[in-house]
Amino acid sequence: NAGVTQTPKFQVLKTGQSMTLQCAQDMNHEYMSWYRQDPGMGLRLIHYSVGAGITDQGEVPNGYNVSRSTTEDFPLRLLSAAPSQTSVYFCASSYSRTGSRYTEAFFGQGTRLTVV
Amino acid sequence: DQQVKQNSPSLSVQEGRISILNCDYTNSMFDYFLWYKKYPAEGPTFLISISSIKDKNEDGRFTVFLNKSAKHLSLHIVPSQPGDSAVYFCAASAEYTNAGKSTFGDGTTLTVKP
């Protein structure tokens, strides 16, 4: 299993450009999420999905769009990039364990995005 | 208002000694707590967790303690090894939500000196 795969690993955008960060998982996990990590800070939840066709906003959703058409993929779209979106983005997946709601998240290696 | 706080940005310990990383939370709805470890240029990886029905969970060299009345948890690493040098994040989830929707602290950078 590859786990959670994010592409690209690095990206430089100009202000106002749009792009899609890709995330794919091969563990058949029903839950997927996107976080951003700014320097010296923890991870903040951007968007979340509990299954194909179902998404929800996290703590910092503005400027981002998501969709979940398949269990495996959860792309994150930047609609009009701004310097404030310069950050490292992590995609994660997790699952529900029979008999317990307590499970951990599996993270991708991250996408380092710079908006100039 | 930051709901999960790690008040020590960094910690340095000698190899073989104990490392104690602390975490405080404010939301009384949190009932599941996790520690993740992160190396540079990699994603966080799960280390250990504890549910609110327990006050201690142990996994090898790693032990997590939970004090619900104080809304405080700590991660103990004994003995510490140079390979433990990383950023450690405390995370918390509220009842009926999944650990993929956690609230994270800002992290503590642990340096273990040989």
The model's pLDDT over B13-48, given as tens digits with 9 standing for 90+, comes to 999 999 999 999 999 989 899 999 999 999 999 999
pLDDT at A40: 83
Question: By the CB < 8 Å criterion, does A7 face chain B?
Answer: no
Can you give the pLDDT at residue A98? 65
Q: Give me the pLDDT at residue B1, please.
A: 76
> From residue A76, how far is each of A8, A73, B4 by CA, in Å?
12, 10, 25
CA end-to-end span of chain A: 36
Q: What is the pLDDT of residue A76?
A: 98
Q: Which of B32, B99, B104 sits opposite A43 (nearest CB)?
A: B104
pLDDT at res. B100: 66
pLDDT at B71: 97
CA–CA separation, B24 vs B22, rounded Å? Answer: 7
CA pair distance B114, B100, nearest whole angstrom:
35
Task: Tell me if chain A has a CB within 8 Å of the CB of B43.
Answer: yes
Which residue on chain A is closest to B6 by alpha carbon? A42
Q: Identify which of B43, B89, B105 has the shortest CB distance to residue A109.
A: B43
Query: A102 — contact with chain B (CB < 8 Å)?
Result: yes
Mean pLDDT of A15-31: 95
Mutate which: B34, B57, B66, B102, vs A, most A CBs within 10 A: B102
Mean pLDDT confidence for A31-47: 93
Chain A residues within an 8 Å CB radius of B107? 41-42
pLDDT of B4 reads: 96
Give chain A's mean pLDDT.
Answer: 93
> What local confidence, expressed as pLDDT, does residue B92 receive?
93
Mutation target vs A (from B98, B106, B109; most A CBs, 10 A cutoff): B98
Per-residue model confidence (pLDDT) at position A103: 79
Backbone angles phi and psi of A101, in degrees to 5 = -95, 5
* Candidates A6, A102, A103, partner chain B, best to mutate (most B CBs within 10 A): A102
Judging contacts by C-beta atoms under 8 Å, the chain B residues touching residue A35 are: 104
By the CB < 8 Å criterion, does B74 face chain A?
no
Q: Identify the pLDDT of residue A100.
A: 65
pLDDT, one tens digit per residue, over B74-109 is 999 999 999 999 999 999 988 556 656 889 999 999
B8, burial (CB in 10 Å: exposed 0-12, middle 13-18, buried 19+): middle
**Residue A31 and residue B100: Cβ atoms within 8 Å?**
yes
Question: Is 90 exceeded by the pLDDT of residue A32?
Answer: yes
pLDDT digits (tens, 9 = 90+) for A59-106: 999 999 999 999 999 999 999 999 999 999 999 998 877 666 667 899
For residue A96, the model assigns a pLDDT of: 75
Interface contacts (A, B; CB < 8 Å):
72
User: Does A39 contact chain B (CB < 8 Å)?
Assistant: no
Model confidence at A28: pLDDT above 80: yes
Give the pLDDT confidence score for residue A101 in this predicted structure: 62
